[in-house]
A and B are shown apart, each in its own frame.
Chain A
Amino acid sequence: MAKRRQGLGKVLLASMLLTLTVALGGCSGDKQDGDSEKVSDTAAASHITIGIPQDLDSLVPSLSQGAGTQEILYNIYEGLYKPDSEGNLVPAVASDYTMSEDGLVYTFTLRDGIKFHNGNPVTAADVKYSIDTCAGLNGGEPVISAFSNIVGVEAPDENTIVITLKESSSSFMAILSTVEAAIVPADAADLQTNPIGTGPYKFVSRSLQENVVLERFDGYWGEPAHIKDVTLKVLADSDSIVMNLEGGAVDLVARISAAQAAELGDDFEVLEGTMNLVQAVYLNNAVAPFDNEKVRQALCYAVNRQEILDFVSEGKGTLVGSSMFPAFGKYYIEELNDLYTTDIEKAKALLVEAGYPDGFSFTMKVPSNYQQHVDTAQVVAEQLKQIGVTADIELIEWETWLSDVYQGRDFEATLVGVDASTLTAGAMLSRFRSDAHNNFINYNNQEYDAAYAEALAAESVMDDDKATEAYKKCETILAGTAANVYIQDMCELVAVRKGYTGYTFYPLYIQDFSKLDIQ
């Protein structure tokens, strides 16, 4: 009996040990993997894992929607032209173009010897197919709404493409250079599962919500990429970014927060750029009390923007005073930043004038997936308390933000960043025309409408100086009437593991992997 008891005891003990060893076995095995990975990183020196905050919504350029998707597809696909890191449009699939006097006919020359990832040469027929698809000339709705302006696409010979417009447009080339208007093979079976483009990287594989694997395209027409293999890893949530970087699962993550950057150890370098957007408390100009200019101005005076930067991003970021950010260069007016310097007394006085001596309360909707906006909102709410104004923060999903705030315009105030899809002034300013379909703040100012019309008129006759002047007038009106409580163009922080170099900031939403290198 005694022996029997021991036996059973042993079984129990053994089963416990077994579990332990399984667990530990797994551990030690993994540890070795981790070590060998590090070795191969430095030895083979041609692989990088990049963390991306969300999965790609589509691998077909014309169907892609999110800026986060398009910035990645930039590496796989190219349009006739494409933006470079200065924001200039440079030839890509085309090598040159000419525009007719009246600005209606664009003639492109195809680049010699350019190939798709599958080895086939790019033909004029492929270009015609791609542009036709985007313009809805193959049947169906135009994929890019601005392309409804295209009347016809012709390929008079193998190397020439002629695009004819209904009316001249200064932003046509910028839109043509977006990744949505990329050139794809006319005979591609299914781009969704097998994307084929002309970019520096070609597609290898993807696993939903897990990763996308890219490989350098050796037949690329331009300067080839440095790193051979790029793995894009989808990160579950922003809170795990630090752990993923420190733990070695990813080597590079763009747009991390200042708090996350501060947590990173010596293995990482944090690069600093700007996000190229206008972060502001966007006010619904059609609802009380924000229909009153004095109230809006009071809020502007009550907010201390430098303090926001200190709290949220360790003081990093660029203050803005209107709906325009510095990357726009000639359109940006720096002086507008100083229009409203924090002045609590003045803010209170304005509230009294406006008929709100005891302040008021309102709801500020903030998309919950942007931690920087959520943090900023908390600081703003705290600052507004000083003038007796209560801001209740309501966190909403991004999709709800799109439907309720942006489309439904059912909000009092919202704190977000508005970016530009192209580097044309219109991308930032056209939405504030009183009849613009995307005028989500219901801004209604006839002077503004007139100034904007003036800019458009000047553009249609290619008078750039006059157009710039008119756009600047628009910005000044927005700032003067305190259309929104403008805060900043946020700083963009990029964490890069030491040893990797060449990360390049773009003035648009673009991640260029081809410039990355290993020391």
Chain B
Amino acid sequence: MRYIGKKLAAMIITLLCISFLVYLAFDLIPGDAALAALGTDATPESLAALREQLGLNRPFLERYLEWLVHFLCGDFGTSYKYHMPVADMIVSKLPITVIMAVISFFMMVVISLPVGIYTAKHSGRRIDRFVMALNQVVMSVPHFFMGILITYLFGMLLKFFTPGGFVSYETDFWGFLSYIIFPCFAIALPKIAMSVKLLRSSCIEESKKDYVRTAYSKGNNTNKVLYRHVLRNAIIPVITLWGMTLADMLVGSIVIEQVFNIPGIGRILLTSISYRDYPVVEAVIVLIAFVVIVTNFVVDVIYQLVDPRISV
């Protein structure tokens, strides 16, 4: 419990730091929202007036604290570009990104587990070598390009889905699912390769240990040893990896959303950055960081429960 409390406190401090740094960073960027709003028609007078109206003239700390208090109350401010509450903008888009991350995660677990075990069992054989070689190649392809290749293969050539034909979960849930399976696959693929590799090597390493030999010598059948003893221990590092990838997947979707034309949180973030729509950018980044940190925290706690030896 003390461990969890300590971690919790650390987490809150981390979040505060991030929110401060993010706010500061976007304060330093040249050009401001008033200018972006007025565009080519801006005159020095209208600029000054709008800056006044938006409160861009006040001291930095004052603006930060006010923002923070509002943020904690769930008021993320108003978008400069869309003139609507940031919270409203994010609420309808967050499920898209979260569902994508969850599906990708599920894909990773369901595919990498059997493949990893299978290759470990058949290590050195042709099939193992083939899978491992494929693995290496998959890990070497840039994310966005993997997305483009998947679009071309499944979308353009095989016509399994309509490239760019995203439909929202609000209008057609099944249509939504059948579309996002492909971007999810693009997000999951490199992670699948990573966890197959780790699981395989972890299984092989574990099965070389003395207790496994003892188990064999007692006349235990290979599979029983594998699933009862080896897997239980070999899976621990893999679970750590999975914990880290869940956060990765949320962030990885920024690029993949762009490739597959999906209006999720990543798209909102990228467009808001180029519009200098600070309230949106700050809210989204802090939110993403929040999710990442909370995920790490949960993984830490689970880890602690699974294996009390770890206290770092």
> With A and B bound together, what is the CA distance between A15 and B39 in angstroms?
55
- Residue pair A66, B259 in contact (C-beta under 8 Å): no
Among B113, B185, B271, the one with the most A-chain Cβ atoms within 10 Å of its Cβ is: B271
For residue A438, which residues in chain B have a CB less than 8 angstroms away from its CB? 40
Contact partner of B83 (CB less than 8 A), chosen from A58, A240, A407, is A58
* Closest residue of A by beta carbon distance from B223: A5
Q: Of the listed stretches A304-312, A392-400, A459-467, A486-494, name the one at the interface; the rest are far from the partner chain.
A: A392-400
Among B40, B84, B260, B268, the one with the most A-chain Cβ atoms within 10 Å of its Cβ is: B40
Does B35 touch A at the CB level, under 8 Å?
A: yes
Known: A400-B31, A402-B40. A247 touches B155 (CB 8 A): yes
Contact partner of B163 (CB less than 8 A), chosen from A33, A145, A244, is A244
Distance in angstroms from A149 CB to nearest chain B CB is: 15
Which of chain B's residues 132-167 have a Cβ closer than 8 Å to chain A?
A: 151-152, 154-156, 158-166
> With A and B bound together, what is the CA distance between A248 and B164 in angstroms?
8
Known: A141-B46, A145-B46. A243 touches B163 (CB 8 A): yes
Known: A30-B162, A247-B165. A402 touches B31 (CB 8 A): yes
- Residue pair A249, B160 in contact (C-beta under 8 Å): no
For residue B130, which residues in chain A have a CB less than 8 angstroms away from its CB? none
- Residue pair B162, A248 in contact (C-beta under 8 Å): yes
- Residue pair B32, A403 in contact (C-beta under 8 Å): yes
- Residue pair B224, A398 in contact (C-beta under 8 Å): no
- Residue pair B89, A243 in contact (C-beta under 8 Å): no
Does A31 touch B at the CB level, under 8 Å?
A: yes
Distance in angstroms from B164 CB to nearest chain A CB is: 3
For residue A240, which residues in chain B have a CB less than 8 angstroms away from its CB? 163-164, 259, 261
Q: Interface residues of A toward B: which range?
A: 35 or more
- Residue pair B267, A236 in contact (C-beta under 8 Å): yes
Does B55 touch A at the CB level, under 8 Å?
A: no
Does B263 touch A at the CB level, under 8 Å?
A: yes
Q: Of the listed stretches A202-210, A345-353, A379-387, A470-478, name the one at the interface; the rest are far from the partner chain.
A: A202-210
- Residue pair B110, A18 in contact (C-beta under 8 Å): yes
Does B56 touch A at the CB level, under 8 Å?
A: no
- Residue pair B175, A30 in contact (C-beta under 8 Å): yes
> With A and B bound together, what is the CA distance between A28 and B174 in angstroms?
12
Does B211 touch A at the CB level, under 8 Å?
A: no
Does B257 touch A at the CB level, under 8 Å?
A: yes
Does B107 touch A at the CB level, under 8 Å?
A: yes
Contact partner of A249 (CB less than 8 A), chosen from B162, B259, B268, is B162
- Residue pair A27, B178 in contact (C-beta under 8 Å): yes
> With A and B bound together, what is the CA distance between A237 and B164 in angstroms?
11
- Residue pair A248, B156 in contact (C-beta under 8 Å): no
Distance in angstroms from B162 CB to nearest chain A CB is: 5
Known: A31-B159, A31-B160, A145-B43. A399 touches B31 (CB 8 A): yes
For residue A63, which residues in chain B have a CB less than 8 angstroms away from its CB? 83
User: Chain B: how many interface residues by the 8 Å CB criterion?
Assistant: 71
Among B43, B110, B152, B161, the one with the most A-chain Cβ atoms within 10 Å of its Cβ is: B161
Does A84 touch B at the CB level, under 8 Å?
A: no
Does A16 touch B at the CB level, under 8 Å?
A: yes
Does B227 touch A at the CB level, under 8 Å?
A: yes
Does A120 touch B at the CB level, under 8 Å?
A: no
Distance in angstroms from A119 CB to nearest chain B CB is: 26
- Residue pair B156, A208 in contact (C-beta under 8 Å): no
Interface string of B270-295 (1 = CB under 8 A from A): 01001110000000000000000000
* Closest residue of B by beta carbon distance from A235: B261
- Residue pair A26, B114 in contact (C-beta under 8 Å): no
Does B7 touch A at the CB level, under 8 Å?
A: no
Which of chain B's residues 54-87 have a Cβ closer than 8 Å to chain A?
A: 81-84
For residue B151, which residues in chain A have a CB less than 8 angstroms away from its CB? 243
- Residue pair A30, B178 in contact (C-beta under 8 Å): yes
For residue A23, which residues in chain B have a CB less than 8 angstroms away from its CB? 181, 185
> With A and B bound together, what is the CA distance between A244 and B111 in angstroms?
30
For residue A16, which residues in chain B have a CB less than 8 angstroms away from its CB? 110-111, 114-115
> With A and B bound together, what is the CA distance between A404 and B165 in angstroms?
37
* Closest residue of B by beta carbon distance from A410: B30
Does B41 touch A at the CB level, under 8 Å?
A: yes
For residue A13, which residues in chain B have a CB less than 8 angstroms away from its CB? 114
* Additional pairs, 11, CB under 8 Å, beyond known A29-B174, A236-B260: A12-B118, A13-B114, A15-B110, A16-B115, A31-B161, A63-B83, A65-B38, A208-B263, A210-B263, A247-B164, A404-B30
Q: Can you report 14 A-B residue pairs in the complex whose CB atoms are below 8 A from each other?
A: A5-B221, A19-B111, A26-B181, A30-B160, A31-B159, A207-B170, A210-B263, A243-B151, A246-B163, A249-B166, A399-B35, A399-B274, A402-B31, A407-B42
